[in-house]
């Protein structure tokens, strides 16, 4: 779906103070995963955005209202499609993404930092507002983020919450996957199995799951599926139980 064509389907809302989501359709008709970018207005007034949806006009207009974009974030190896568009629009912003995303881009752009290539203790300048944990042992090389001010975890593919009803709410589609329904809802059988299947380095997974369990979050904002507004930490624990037992 072309960038501007998604504008009429993009759902923009302030989930909690200073945390905005840009939700849009994504995926083939038989597997509607949905996509989401998330922007955080920092205490400084600058904007941090996990860029995972097209940079259409409605998205640009809202970002202009929020403040200057200072950080563009690529959260895993697969979420790289729109990083170049964001960097072109906001050339003064720092583009920070996983090294796997850079290696997979057809038209690579310069990164200002890369999880997986930089030293593990590297700070990127937004840590006073947002913490991060790079899951080096996960197959898609994801990064989880924590915004303590709103008690919100933001992440890409580490936790999905399908069906993607909000992301398809303007399309006339239910966003539900035919036959399977809520097979990737919190507490589902598959939700509890995927982290084990995709965790290639078990020791690294135990380390990083322990780090995230130390965060005091109440909600999870995924790139795919609906935002989990309550009982998020219990759902995260249930999904990653094999690294905690």
Q: List pLDDT tens digits, range 91-148.
A: 999 999 999 998 877 777 899 999 999 999 999 999 999 999 999 999 999 999 999 9
Place of tokens 């752009």: 109
The alpha carbon of 152 is separated from its chain's Cα centroid by a whole number of angstroms, namely 12
> Cα-atom radius of gyration of the chain, to the nearest Å?
17
Higher pLDDT, 26 or 164: 164
In whole angstroms, what is the distance from residue 223 CA to residue 166 CA? 12
For every residue of 68-114, DSSP letters joined together read: -EEEEEE-SSS--TTHHHHHHH-TTSEEEEEHHHHHH-SS----SEE
57: three-class secondary structure by DSSP: helix
Q: Are 75 and 23 in contact (CB under 8 A)?
A: no
In 3D space, the residue among 23, 73, 7 whose CA is nearest the CA of residue 46 turns out to be 73
Fold classified for 4-117+127-243: Metallo-beta-lactamase; Chain A (3.60.15)
pLDDT digits (tens, 9 = 90+) for 190-228: 778 888 888 999 999 999 999 999 999 999 999 999 999
* Residue 73, pLDDT above cutoff 70: yes
Give SS3 for 228.
strand
Q: Are 184 and 176 in contact (CB under 8 A)?
A: no
Q: For the chain, what are the domain ranges?
A: 4-117+127-243
- Which own/partner contact pairs does 45-49 have at CB distance under 8 Å and 24+ positions apart? 46/70, 46/71, 47/71, 48/73, 48/126, 48/129, 48/130, 49/73, 49/86
Kindly report whether the global pTM for this prediction surpasses the value 0.85. yes
């Amino acid at each position: 779906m072309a960038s501007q064509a998604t504008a009429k389907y993009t759902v923009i809302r302030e989930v909690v103070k200073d945390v905005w989501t840009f939700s849009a359709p994504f995926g083939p008709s038989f597997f509607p995963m949905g996509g989401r970018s998330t922007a955080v207005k920092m205490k400084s007034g600058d904007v941090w955005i996990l860029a995972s949806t097209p940079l259409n006009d409605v998205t640009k207009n809202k970002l202009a209202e929020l403040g200057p974009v200072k950080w563009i974030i690529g959260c895993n190896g697969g979420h790289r499609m729109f990083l170049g568009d964001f960097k072109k629009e906001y050339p003064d912003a720092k583009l920070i993404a996983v090294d796997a995303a850079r290696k997979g881009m057809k038209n690579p752009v310069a990164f200002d930092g890369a999880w997986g290539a930089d030293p593990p203790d590297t700070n990127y300048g937004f840590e006073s507002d947002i913490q991060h944990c790079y899951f080096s042992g996960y197959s898609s090389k994801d990064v989880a983020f924590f915004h303590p001010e709103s008690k919100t975890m933001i992440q890409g593919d580490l936790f999905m919450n399908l069906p993607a009803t909000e992301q398809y709410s303007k399309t006339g589609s239910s966003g539900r996957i035919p036959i399977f329904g809520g097979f990737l809802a919190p507490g589902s059988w598959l939700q509890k199995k995927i982290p084990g299947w995709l965790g290639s380095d078990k020791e690294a997974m135990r380390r990083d799951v322990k780090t995230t369990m130390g965060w005091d979050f109440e909600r999870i904002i995924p790139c795919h599926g609906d935002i989990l507004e309550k009982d998020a930490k219990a759902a995260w624990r249930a999904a990653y139980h094999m690294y905690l037992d």
